[in-house]
Amino acid sequence: MTSPQSLQSPQPGDASIPRHVAIIMDGNNRWAKSHGMSGVRGHHAGVEAVRAVIRRAAERGVGTLTLFAFSSENWRRPAAEVQALMELFLMALKREVRKLHDNDIKLSVIGAREGFSSTIQKHIASAEALTADNSGLHLVVAANYGGRWDITRAARCLAQRVAVGELAAENVDEQAMEDELCLGHEPPVDLCIRTSGERRISNFLLWQMAYAELYFTPVLWPDFGAEAFDDALADFAGRQRRFGMTDEQAEAQGA
């Protein structure tokens, strides 16, 4: 594994460090099962991995870290597990936000938050307000989120603007669509990490990951810590990002 010291602090404009990292945190249930525990215990164990990765992302100079905490499809899970996840989410909002604020981390939650209880919605709003002016790492938690929902919602907003004459139909372009998305004012995802060995993106940030580098690891999420995150960054640093160009063009532009 890459040692923490082997990745130096990034310099301004350092292309080897992704501006935006997105993580599909997978494997909590399998981790719990392998340890003879209930699935709920696996989700609790995953919280420490979240803390470790947030710390390391901030240390490495990542600008935005988006964590897929609960998808719009996760409501299909057993009711007891969903209830436990809601309790864990609320507990994290109560206990972790002050620590984020003290470390100059800004927190945003994206997704259809109306699907959550009024108590959770209140704590989300409070957490976002507390950390809104922080200038360090931007931590985004995707909860009750789906990429198709995000794009559909953005398209509906554009349609409504056209209907009332605020926007001309011919001006509906990629930038207009992007501006209406949940992360429209954040850089696109440079690196997407998925743990537990699964190799799919599961309806996560579909628009924002159009040119993301994908990194799949067999490590289960509760075992994914700072060193594993460094391994993903080292892998990213070794890739050539061409964005449709030839190798020669990419090399000439330092892509």
Would you name the residues annotated as active-site residues?
A: 26, 74
- The answer to whether 57 and 9 are in contact (CB under 8 A) is no
DSSP letters for 194-217? E-TT----TTSSTTTTTTPEEEE-
- The answer to whether 220 and 195 are in contact (CB under 8 A) is yes
Neighbour count for residue 111 (Cβ, 10 Å): 23
Q: What are phi and psi of 141, to 5 degrees?
A: -110, 120
DSSP letters for 62-94? -SEEEEEEEETTGGGS-HHHHHHHHHHHHHHHH
* Token representation of residue 74: 């996760």
